[in-house]
A and B are shown apart, each in its own frame.
Chain A
């Protein structure tokens, strides 16, 4: 049994950069590489894709990521754990096998099934967020349970080089290799808590190495253009050091780790995953070398009895239009443009919004401390069940060129389908998971 393993984090979201994962795999001497590529809404989007083309519905960057990574993973005997299967893990697995064959590489892929619980869903059930029945929100397109390590462990016990899943709780992707390699008792909540802390710190990749952190005035970070992604050396007692490949940009510090520890945590004493209710309150972070920190002190209580299920639904369409004004009376002209649009079409939308970018579009106020800016950008947005009505917003904003105030420039318009996400809880024993092995 191993005393220590090294896990790298090569993606923090579906659209993440690919190059840092290549550098990490080539130079990081990893036992495992984890690619976390599913945001809340990603599976619902992928499910829509799958409806249009049954061989799609997995991560749109899967092909590019795997083409670059596969030779490196094989060369360095690094196992890959990833949720890039999204709404269609089997099709994703087949695509990986196809790439491996093209590259002349022998790989085994374990495809994990069971997170798709759409057929088990009761559409009359009330959702957690609004308390209203699920189906009252819109046509339901997807329902995926957040799976935990108990689903991943059998796949890790197989000889698979790649473990490919749909929805799995992000920290579980990291905790599973720890439990597998150290033979941890998954009913030991303290160890599960420690491992979950490490997984949570790693799951957003560059967010612990200086990304989403840097501020040139108060928190300077060098070399962001070459931001390195993190890896952890985890010991079998649940402590770890986190670092990055020497020569890459960014930084790993107590400060970067503190920000990431609390990221998206509702209650730091009760961070709920399928594996544990983790407690972050006594986590210790120490700088032991430049760009290397030590993590200890995580804890936890036994895992919850129910799994969270994310339910995606069709929420209509959003139309947007933007146009800019600069110089004398820029804000007055932008406001006149806003009034014109509102009078022309505002009544068509149940939700309609006008923002002045550069003034108060992000925080809703300037907290009384900004002068009127030299240039201002009007943004109009609205929601409609009907795509054409949504598109009208951009069309009307564009028409301000010749039908609105003086000097409007740089108009842009867009319309996109909106997929909403709500959630319910589901009994664990209702969710049956399996895996199958594909070989090149």
Chain B
């Protein structure tokens, strides 16, 4: 098992209560590996305590990257959330805590 933080980087974005997490391998050859191992279901399970809605995975082959768009993931939404990190900006590193085969 290996932590995603060893093989990929990520940036978090937000719109309302939608959280987006990119997943970008340091080495482009690892894109196929991530494609196989990091499914939307696994991301939803990994962050199930935060994400109340569905997770959709988008493939961006031009840059060898994945995008996970997570619905109902930021409480009532960025502008009215009580969370310390209302935007979820730190959550890129929560995704990178996931371990894969």
Contacts and interface: CB of A to CB of B under 8 A. Distances in A.
Contacts of A40: 15, 78-79
A323 B93 CA distance: 26
Interface in A155-197: none
A351 B84 contact: no
Contacts of A382: 82
Contacts of B80: 315, 383, 418, 420
Given A259-B24, A261-B63, A266 B82 contact: no
Contacts of B67: 262, 265, 268
Interface string B55-97: 0101111110101010000001111101111000111011001
A424 interface: no
A263 interface: yes
Nearest to A284: B62
A362 B61 contact: no
Contacts of B11: 212-213, 259-260, 262-263
Contact of B84 (A262, A280, A281, A379): A379
B9 interface: yes
Interface in A243-274: 254-255, 258-269
B34 interface: no
Nearest to B11: A259
Interface string B4-47: 01000111011111101010101000000000000000000000
A266 B62 contact: no
Contacts of A260: 11
Interface in A196-255: 212-213, 215, 218-219, 254-255
A364 interface: yes
Given A263-B11, A266-B69, A355-B84, A418 B62 contact: no
Nearest to A319: B82
Given A264-B20, A268-B67, A419 B62 contact: no
B79 A268 contact: no
B13 A281 contact: no
Interface in A124-138: 129
Contacts of A419: 79
Contacts, number: 123
Interface in A333-356: 351-353, 355
A253 B49 CA distance: 34
A318 B79 contact: no
Contact of A383 (B49, B63, B82, B94): B82
A421 B79 contact: yes
A365 B49 contact: yes
A218 B58 contact: no
A266 B60 CA distance: 12
Given A259-B9, A351-B82, A369 B97 contact: yes
B24 A268 contact: no
A67 interface: no
A381 interface: yes
A297 interface: yes
A129 B16 CA distance: 8
A381 B20 contact: no
Given A259-B24, A263-B20, A351-B76, 15 more contacts: A40-B79, A129-B16, A129-B17, A213-B11, A258-B65, A259-B10, A261-B65, A262-B11, A266-B18, A268-B60, A280-B62, A281-B61, A351-B82, A363-B94, A367-B94
21 contacts: A41-B78, A41-B79, A129-B17, A212-B89, A215-B9, A219-B9, A255-B24, A259-B22, A261-B65, A262-B22, A262-B67, A264-B14, A280-B62, A281-B60, A297-B62, A355-B84, A362-B84, A363-B50, A418-B80, A420-B79, A421-B16
List of 5 A-B pairs having minimum Cβ-Cβ separation, nearest first:
A264-B13, A262-B22, A259-B11, A282-B62, A363-B94
Interface of A: 40-41, 129, 212-213, 215, 218-219, 254-255, 258-269, 280-285, 297, 315, 318, 351-353, 355, 357, 361-365, 367, 369, 379, 381-383, 418-423
